[in-house]
Amino acid sequence: MTYCIGIRLDAGMVFLSDSRTNAGMDQFSTFRKMIVYEQAGERFMVLLSAGNLSISQSVREILQVEKIEGGAEQPPITIWNASSMFDAARVLGATVRRVYDQDGASLKEAGVDFNASFILGGQIRGEAMRMFQVYAPGNFIESTRETPYFQIGESKYGKPILDRVITPRAGLDEAAKCALVSMDSTLKSNLSVGLPLDLLVYREGEFQSERMVCIDEHNPYLHMSRATWGQRLKQVFEGIDDPHWGGGEVHHPLLAVSDRYPPMRKITHPGEKIV
């Protein structure tokens, strides 16, 4: 399993991925899930992958040469000449389907599902930044202002903090911090997600990024944020009143008058045997 996050903001984009791959409880390996496709001053794209490693690695390699029809009297479209991120996402979808055509039947015979998902985000000169989530059949959806981030892999543990913090107007450093807290929550709760992490921050209109870092267990910022988040969560928890079961003057009684039915219970009579 894995966990990857892609966030699209007004100011830029944030990408974060773990690097753990497992084929059973005693077969853990480290493989990077992030790859950058960059053409200086022209286009900048980041691909995150989750799912079956052999599928995602095949897709990543073939994507660099895959092409789709460009229309009447138009050259084939590749990620390197696509005029929009939408067309780049179409090429990625076609690549996923090509890998399925090549390997799908063999995987099925071996009892292996064709399981892979991707986040593709970036910017091509002449258009705004865009981000897509691509599924195993090759279809995809695009992020919106109402849904400015995507998650793939083991997403449930890290989703609450993203929902509470991320808006299109968030700053890039704020979003990077939020992504790391989201990832650390997942690391804490799921052994199939693990270090090192790859973090990339892209600023709108730059078509390159110098804010790229590989974060291992010795990273001082990770240690600081992990300790601070844990301590502050505990402080907030302790600051919430314990449940009060009624009686006396309390502002927030747990046992209060309600129109809802009480819990079901069986009333026994003296001498009745309970079976």
> Mean pLDDT over residues 92-109, rounded?
97
Q: Of 113, 131, 136, whose CA–CA distance to 121 is shortest?
A: 131
pLDDT of residue 274: 57
Query: Does 62 have pLDDT greater than 70?
Result: yes
pLDDT tens figures, 106-121: 999 999 999 999 999 9
Q: Of 48, 267, 269, 270, whose CA–CA distance to 179 is shortest?
A: 48
pLDDT of residue 232: 97
Tell me, rounded to whole angstroms, the distance of Cα 105 from its chain centroid. Answer: 28
> Mean pLDDT over residues 47-74, rounded?
94
The pTM of the full predicted model, rounded to 2 decimals, is 0.92
In the chain, DSSP assigns E strands to 3-8, 12-17, 20-22, 28-30, 34-39, 43-51, 116-124, 130-134, 140-142, 149-153, 197-203, 211-215
pLDDT confidence of 272, banded at 50, 70, 90?
A: low
pLDDT of residue 23: 57
> Distance between CA 272 and CA 275 in Å, rounded?
9
Contact between 110 and 23 (Cβ < 8 Å):
no
Q: Which two tokens stand for residue 164?
A: 């509470």
Q: Of 15, 7, 1, 31, whose CA–CA distance to 196 is shortest?
A: 31
**Max CA pair span of the chain:** 92
pLDDT of residue 268: 73
Strand partners, 69: none
Hey, what CATH topology would domain 3-234 get? Glutamine Phosphoribosylpyrophosphate, subunit 1, domain 1 (3.60.20)
> Distance between CA 218 and CA 220 in Å, rounded?
6
| Residue whose tokens read 């389907």 | 97
Where are the domains positioned within the chain?
3-234
Contact between 79 and 63 (Cβ < 8 Å):
yes
Query: Does 176 have pLDDT greater than 70?
Result: yes
Backbone φ, ψ for residue 140 (5° rounding): -155, 165
> Distance between CA 156 and CA 243 in Å, rounded?
27
pLDDT tens figures, 203-245: 999 999 999 999 999 999 999 999 999 999 999 999 999 988 8
